[in-house]
Amino acid sequence: MKSWIDRRAVIFYVFAVVSFALTPLAPTEYSYVGWILGIAYVVLGSMSWLDRVAFWRSNPTRRKRG
């Protein structure tokens, strides 16, 4: 089960949370930067996770080794 956890995706999701959390602190004219960054990290995290899942499904030998 542990092999399905993508550490890179987790880090990207943490960065997304940080970006969203900082958005209210930014001056109004720059708050869009926080939103864009947060969304970008959610997308990057999800893509990274999907890539990991696809890799483990297409490489059963690596999967067995864990």
Q: Which residues bind other proteins (CB under 8 A)?
A: 7-8, 11, 15, 18-19, 22, 25-27, 30, 33-34, 37, 40-41, 44
CB count within 10 Å of CB 19 equals 20
Q: Which amino acid is at 60?
A: P
Rank residues 1 and 25 by Cβ distance to other proteins and give the closer one.
25
Rank residues 7 and 57 by Cβ distance to other proteins and give the closer one.
7
Nearest to 55 by CA among 3, 9, 13, 10: 3
Rank residues 51 and 60 by Cβ distance to other proteins and give the closer one.
51
The pair of structure tokens assigned to 8 is: 């890179």
